[in-house]
Amino acid sequence: MDAILVVNAGSSSVKFQVFAANGSHDLQRLIKGQIEGIGTQPRLYATGSGRAKLVDCAYSTKVVPDVSAAMRAAGAWLREQGNINLVAIGHRVVHGGPEYDCPVVIDDQVIKKLERYVPLAPLHQPNNLAPIRSVYAQSPELLQVACFDTAFHRGHSAVVDHYAIPERYYAEGVRRYGFHGLSYEYIASRLPEVMPSVANGRVIVAHLGSGASMCAIAAGRSVESSLGFTALDGLPMGTRPGQLDPGIVLYLIDQKGMSSAEVQTLFYHECGLKGLSGVSNDVRELEQSDSPRAKFALDYFVYRVGIYAGMLAAALGGIDAFVFTAGIGENSSGIRARVAEKLGWLGVELDPIANAAHAQTISCKASRVGVYVVATDEELMIARHTLALLTDRTLQKVKRAGVG
């Protein structure tokens, strides 16, 4: 069976899914799994259709010390499944820089270009590239596709993309990119099904998870995002601070004597909900905690979501719908209720029963703005892009064979 493997590699885990590629538009999810605890307590877990358990296997750190080894372990297990013939691999790559506004087939030049953006996404880019290099070294003939979290936002106007700094820096690539684009692209593709009456209207999507951002979408296209040059901007996140006065960076370096590496570690690993609460970076734990600092962290998070909703509403000139997605947005009825209360001035009225039941539509009938909960599916989006490029390459081969 011809299949597409989708890989989403992080620092301590590699998530993967396998889709049967039965035609130019037909994708069937076969396997969903991950190797977690890389470098500490590696464990491979995967389920099949109907969430049936397929494997639950622990490894030693000698066998799986890093992301590349995790990919080899996952690949070995997939080959044992027998009837799966991998014809392509699609990868989530967080930063595509100014060059890439759509998915691209990976080769030596692409890898070299993407390595330049490691400093802009140090939590993600190195781990995204590790499995790409590993597969490319072992099976260079296998089609690999890079799908970028920045690509969906590349249609922004120059006014949106610029910072108020000399133009030469913009020319070098210092600009507002926006992230979580694969999630927003998937949600945009679902809008005609979920909310057909406003699918071509003005929609704010809140991707609220350990990494959090918001996006203003008009007629299915991104027009503004809370994230900018790196994944540190905008909303507070699990361990990242969100929007900061740049003077804080200067203060930490000049007055506190911190190195750039120390500042980077602080901003990527010690701030956000973790830094504010002193308890956890996990909203589930914070909601259950009786710590005043945990409560304050959640108050701050909700407040900033409300602030950015106002900013994005201004960019759109008003809104017709608001969508919650990702881990917090899909699962925390409490956070949704608190955010909706902040959006009352925009005409949002929540249905508390629907919200508690995690219904798809959680606004009441009297609400001037529809409020929805839509589960994101970045992996399916990657599989779609990979299938499209695989189909295009197959057609090109057929045409060349016909000419010959």
Distance (Å, rounded) from C-alpha 103 to C-alpha 90?
Answer: 9
Find the catalytic residue in 149, 233, 320, 351. 149
Cβ 120 vs Cβ 229: under 8 Å: yes
Distance (Å, rounded) from C-alpha 106 to C-alpha 52?
Answer: 33
Distance (Å, rounded) from C-alpha 397 to C-alpha 176?
Answer: 38
CB atoms within 10 A of CB 280: 17
Torsion angle of the four alpha carbons 128, 122, 179, 384, in this order, in degrees rounded to the nearest 10: 0
Query: Is 120 strand, coil or helix?
Result: helix
The bridge status of strand 321-325 relative to strand 221-225 is: unpaired
Distance between start and end Cα atoms, the chain: 29
Cβ 117 vs Cβ 128: under 8 Å: no
Closest Cα to residue 67, out of 35, 97, 43, 89?
A: 35
User: Which residue(s) pair with 273 in the sheet?
Assistant: none
Residue with tokens 């798809």: 360
Active site residue 149: yes
Residue with tokens 């529809």: 370
Q: Which two tokens stand for residue 120?
A: 């802009």
Distance (Å, rounded) from C-alpha 329 to C-alpha 313?
Answer: 19
Query: Is 118 strand, coil or helix?
Result: helix
Give the catalytic positions in this structure. Answer: 149
